[in-house]
Amino acid sequence: MDLYSTIKSLHLIFVITWFAGLFYIVRLFVYHAEAKQMKEPEQSILIKQYQLMQYRLWYIITWPSAVLASIFAFSLLYLNPEWLTQKWMHVKLVFVLLLYLYQLKCHQIFKQLQNNQVKHTSNFFRIWNEGATIILFSVVFLVILKNAINWIFGVIGIILFSVLLMIGFKMYKKIREKNV
């Protein structure tokens, strides 16, 4: 059981650093898009710095954390193959797939920004940043509850949480526009 606990701990640690990387990379995308609207020389200075920060975060923290979290997850499934027969695990694996799709889209955006192609607004990135939050909430509630009925209530809660995030975003945008 000691090996199992160690692998589970490592899995959790790398899931946390993976999400931290995803949350922060999109925040850097917001700053990068806003810097693109600035005048020179601020624009060039900030964009160069954000590109460096994005590169380091993406390749030193986020991708390695995703890979290590997955390796430890597969190890846990190997040690507990009965989990693969449980419905909550099937749903969790769907959310993990969604998380990887989210990361791949972030990677596409990362590559664009590294080439100084800003195709989205800072407001788009603020909304996009909530994607990882929704996946995180979904997975945590699913893993803790492990029950279909409770999970349905969890999905309803996630939808309500998403609506609250959008309302909060719109309110924040109005406040920012008033202060500018």
> Residues comprising the binding site for heme?
11, 92
The first and second tokens of residue 134, run together, are 């929704």
CA distance 36 to 17: 28
Residues marked as binding?
Answer: 11, 92
CA distance 118 to 112: 7
- Which string of b and e fits 76-100 if b means at least 16 CB within 10 Å? eeeeeeeeeeeebbebbeebbebbe
The CA-atom distances, in angstroms, between 31 and each of 22, 112, 163 are 15, 14, 24
Q: How many CB atoms lie within 10 A of CB 51?
A: 18
DSSP-H helix ranges across 36-83: 42-56, 63-79
* Phi, psi dihedrals of residue 153, rounded to the nearest 5°: -65, -35
Contact 93, 135 (CB under 8 A): no
